[in-house]
Amino acid sequence: MMSRATINTLRIASQICGPKIPSSLVSASQGLIPVVNARWSSHSPLGATLTTRKPVTINTIQSMYRKKEPITVITAHDFPSAYVADHAGMDVVLVGDSLAMVAMGMDDTSEVLLDEMILHCKSVSRAAKGAFTVGDLPMGSYEISPEQALASAIRVIKEGRVKAVKLEGGKDMAPTIAKITGAGIPVLAHIGLTPQRQNALGGFRVQGKTKSSAVKFLEDALAVQEAGAFATVVEAVPAEVAELVTKKLGIPTIGIGAGNGCSGQVLVQVDMLGNFPPGRFLPKFVKKFGNVWEESLKGIEQYKMEVKSRAYPAPEHTYPMPKEVFEEFEKAVNEKE
């Protein structure tokens, strides 16, 4: 028979912590309330994703394109960033290699490895159940040959659990795009400013500003379309050029620094939410839609202050113990001295 103190402890634990106390410990003769399971962990998962909408597919994207409905794309690099993007109703969530800088603190996108991209793709895919997910192929994982690119793409799809891959390059990458799409893997192309090749481009410079470079941009766009890309990112191109090329294509263009005439837009989530310290350089095309850094800083500073002053944790943040049980414990401790 359990002591009254033990019974009281079980009752209080069940009320506070919820389910994991075996119901066998409870009987009507003991006068206990029904005990449900309790979570004893000091942390918990974010929970089931909130999406109730029908998942976005290639067909959905094509339908939006035909209706001239702008396609919304945003980057995500982990479960929380994908979770909120999906809940906000984004059409496409891109696991961009920009995570090299915004999530891993690297100098540029050329440092991130395929295995690292796959790890981040896994996290994003667990959260984004409604949005169409795309994973970037990082530098060095697809340039050697179409066969290498296909092998990398298969890994990103199978292990990363995304629905498509993205790679940079125009006409030169057309055979590679054809190889991947021929295996049944959707490809999002990326033309204009291609950050992985910024050293060859002389830095992060606007592309298509001259007649010859604008013609090359159009040729790249037509080539990736012909190779089977379902859409293409268009980065850092004059708005007039991007709009005209968009009209010449039969696939969506997703602009980033390319004006409002594209079929859709993409931004890096960390940039557009302002989740970075003051003074960080931002490209001209980025609009800050929030200030996550400031809110996070305020919250963490408040936490620090309350810990230092012992204002936190308050009684409501702790687990109580019946007075008589504590007295028994205190007595036992004192007897051991």
pLDDT digits (tens, 9 = 90+) for 131-179: 999 999 999 999 999 999 999 999 999 999 999 999 999 999 999 999 9
328, pLDDT greater than 70: yes
Range 230-245 average pLDDT: 97
The SS3 of residue 200 is coil
Q: Rounded distance, CA 75 to CA 7, Å?
A: 52
Residue 29 has pLDDT above 70, yes or no: no
H or E stretch at 82? helix 79-87
Which of 260, 261, 256, 249 lies closest to 272, judged by CA?
A: 256
Tokens of 35: 């005990």
Nearest to 254 by CA among 205, 191, 202, 317: 191
**283, 257 in Cβ contact below 8 A?**
yes
pLDDT surpasses 60 at 49? no
Q: What are the strands, taking DSSP E only, across 48-196?
A: 71-75, 92-95, 132-136, 164-168, 187-192
**Residue intervals in the chain for CATH 3.20.20.60:** 58-290
| Confidence at residue 21, expressed as pLDDT on a 0 to 100 scale | 43
Instruction: Check residue 206 and give its pLDDT.
Output: 78
Q: Please give the class, per CATH, of domain 58-290.
A: alpha beta
Distance CA 27, CA 32 (A): 6
Residue with tokens 């980057």: 75
The residue type of 80 is: P
Tell me the per-residue pLDDT of 244-281, one tens digit each, with 9 for 90 and over. 999 999 999 999 999 999 999 999 999 999 999 998 88
pLDDT value of residue 243: 98
Mean pLDDT of 120-134: 98
**pLDDT for residue 281:** 86
pLDDT reported for residue 201: 53
- Report the pLDDT value the prediction gives residue 207, as an integer from 0 to 100: 78
CB 262 within 8 A of CB 236: no
Question: Is 82 within 8 Å of 76 (Cβ atoms)?
Answer: yes
Determine the pLDDT at residue 196: 78
Instruction: Give the Cα separation of 268 and 270 in Å (integer).
Output: 6
pLDDT classification of 18: cutoffs 50, 70, 90: very low
d(CA 98, CA 152): 18
Answer positive or negative: Cα dihedral of 155, 159, 164, 169: negative
Which residues have C-beta within 8 Å of that of residue 226, sequence separation ≥ 6? Answer: 174
Residue 242 in contact with residue 255, Cβ under 8 Å?
Answer: yes
| Res. 47 pLDDT band, cuts 50 70 90 | low
Residue 1: pLDDT above 60?
no
What pLDDT digit, counting tens, does each position of 174-219 carry? 999 999 999 999 999 999 998 876 555 555 567 789 999 999 999 9
For 34-43, 271-280, 302-311, which range has the lowest pLDDT when averaged over its residues?
Answer: 34-43
pLDDT at 94: 99
Share of the chain above pLDDT 90, in %: 77
- 231: its two tokens: 């859409």
Average model confidence (pLDDT) across the chain: 88
Burial label for 49, CB within 10 Å (0-12, 13-18, 19+), is middle
User: What pLDDT was estimated at residue 144?
Assistant: 97
Q: What is the CB neighbour count within 10 angstroms for residue 262?
A: 24
> Strand, helix or coil at 90?
coil
Mean pLDDT of 15-42: 46
Please give the pLDDT value at position 31: 44
pLDDT of 26 strictly over 80:
no
Catalytic residues: 235
Q: Work out the end-to-end distance of the chain between its first and last CA atoms, rounded to an integer number of angstroms.
A: 30
Considering only residues 11 and 83, tell me which one the structure prediction assigns the higher pLDDT: 83
Tell me how far CA of residue 283 lies from CA of 2, 197, 238, 267, 287, in angstroms: 68, 17, 14, 11, 9
More confident residue, 46 or 279: 279
